[in-house]
């Protein structure tokens, strides 16, 4: 299955699509120079494939490239950052 990840800044979200179908999203709110990731969802039909991790990794890489810090109100993103220490420098 081919997947693509798209940043939709006008909606404050990152989306992951599998074969053209929306499989999940990571939503955030913006306060100053901080993206607070507050909600991550994977469609039940696509769970167990590691898509949430790919989505969050891409969202955090994009945040780094955009020069913004992050907050982790979403428990999944909080756990992901704790387990992937290369992203901890992004924490506000």
What is the pLDDT at residue 1? Answer: 72
Total domains present in the chain: 1
**pLDDT at res. 92:** 95
Domain enclosing residue 15, as ranges: 3-85
CATH code of the domain containing 39? 3.40.630.30
pLDDT, residue 63, reads 98
Token pair listed for 55: 């989505």
- pLDDT tens-digit map of 15-62: 999 999 999 999 999 999 999 999 999 999 999 999 999 999 999 999
| pTM of structure | 0.94
Integer Cα distance of 20 and 39 in angstroms: 22
Q: Is residue 53 part of a domain?
A: yes
Per residue in 55-90, pLDDT (tens digit) is: 999 999 999 999 999 999 999 999 999 999 999 999
92 is a domain residue: no
Judge residue 53's burial from the number of C-beta atoms within 10 Å of its C-beta, 0-12 exposed, 13-18 middle, 19 or more buried.
middle
């Amino acid at each position: 299955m081919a997947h693509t990840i798209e940043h939709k800044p006008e909606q404050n979200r990152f989306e992951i699509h599998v074969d053209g179908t929306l499989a999940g999203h990571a939503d955030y709110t913006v306060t100053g120079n901080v993206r607070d990731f507050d909600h991550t969802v994977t469609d039940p039909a696509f769970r167990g494939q590691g898509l949430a991790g790919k989505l969050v990794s891409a969202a955090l890489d994009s945040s780094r490239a955009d020069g913004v810090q992050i907050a982790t109100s979403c428990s999944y993103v909080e756990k992901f950052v704790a387990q992937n220490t290369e992203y901890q420098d992004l924490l506000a």
